[in-house]
Amino acid sequence: MNGIVLVNKPANLTSRDVVNLVSKKLNIKKIGHTGTLDPLATGVLVLTVNQATKISELITSYDKEYIAEVVLGIETDTLDITGNILKETKTRFTKKEIENVLNKMIGFYDQEVPIYSAVKINGKRLYEYARSNEEVLLPKRLVNIKSLELVSDIDYIDNKTVFKIKCLVSKGTYIRSLIKDLASNLNTIGTMKNLTRTKQGNFKIEDSVLLSEVDNSKIIPLKDCLNNYFQVSINDDLFNKVKHGQILDNIYNKKEVVFVYRSEVIAIYKEYQSNKLKPWKMFV
C-alpha cells in the first residue's frame, strides 16, 4: 500500500529510530520521514510508505506548528536542555515584555543554523565540527515566522523565567535557534526545555498514532494524503496517456493536477507552459 503513517513521536528516540521501528512493525522496507524531530522532541512525524516516498519533498515543504517550553537564564551548547550548560544568569521577565518581543519577531528573518544540526558545510555535518571542537562559520537561512504567541502562564523557577510559546513557521526553521534569538531580543540567554510538533501542513497531532498503535490499517492512502491538491478521476484512454508520461493540455487551468485511476493515484502532473502539463511524480 502507498501512503503515509502519522506517528506521535515519543521523546528519546531519533526520527530514524521511529522509521526503523515502523518498518519492522509493518514489514515494509521502503519508509522515510518528512522532517527530522530531535530526540528531545515529540509530536507529529509524517512517515511515507512505498511509492509515497516520492512526495516526501512536498510534505517536508509544508509549514509546521510547534509548542515549545522556554527557559530564560540558561545557555547550552546544543541550544536545548539536553546540552552542556555554558552560562547561567538570573531572569525575571513579565508577560508584557515577552509578548512585545514575540510580536516583533513575526515575519521573515535570517536565522543562524545551530552547530548541533545535520546541515552540511564543505561535505561535513555541523555536529561533526562541534564534536571535534573545530571552528566553522554557521550558515544563515531566511525563515518565515508566521505566528508566535505566549500560550502559558509565566513561572519563575530557580531564578529563571519559564513559559511556553506556540509558533507556526516555514520549512527550515529551528525552534532552538528561534528561542535563542527570542532571548537575545530580551538581552539575555535562553534554551529550549521541551518541544512538541502539533501540526505539519494539514496533518495534526490529534490524528497521529502512538508507536504501539501502528499497523497496516493506520496507513493513510496516497489519495487522501493529497486531498489538498486538485484531483481528476480519469478513464482508460487518459490512463494510458498518463501512464506513458505524455504531455497533456492543461484544460484544468491548475499548476498541479493529481490523476486518479480506479481510486488510486497514478501521477501528479505540473504546469510547465501556460497551457501544458507534464509528469512530475509518477506512481505507475
Catalytic residue annotation = 38
Query: Given phi > 0 = left and psi -120 to 50 = alpha, else beta, which region is 80?
Result: beta
Q: At what angle do helices 95-104 and 175-185 cross, to 10 degrees?
A: 120
Residue 102's φ and ψ, nearest 5 degrees, are -60, -45
- 252 by Cβ neighbours in 10 Å (0-12 / 13-18 / 19+) ranks as middle
The single residue listed with the C-alpha cell 513561572 is 155
Strand extents, DSSP E, 205-261: 220-221, 231-233, 248-249, 256-261
What is the spatial distance between Cα 4 and Cα 225, in angstroms, rounded to a whole number? 7
C-alpha angle with apex 167: 103 to 65, nearest 5 degrees? Answer: 160
**Cα atoms found within 13 Å of the Cα of residue 137, Cβ hemisphere only:** 3
- The β-bridge relationship of strands 42-49 and 190-200 is parallel
Query: Given phi > 0 = left and psi -120 to 50 = alpha, else beta, which region is 133?
Result: left
Amino acid at 245: G
Q: Residue 279: which H helix or E strand, with range? A: strand 276-282
| Cβ atoms within 10 Å of 262's Cβ, excluding its own | 9
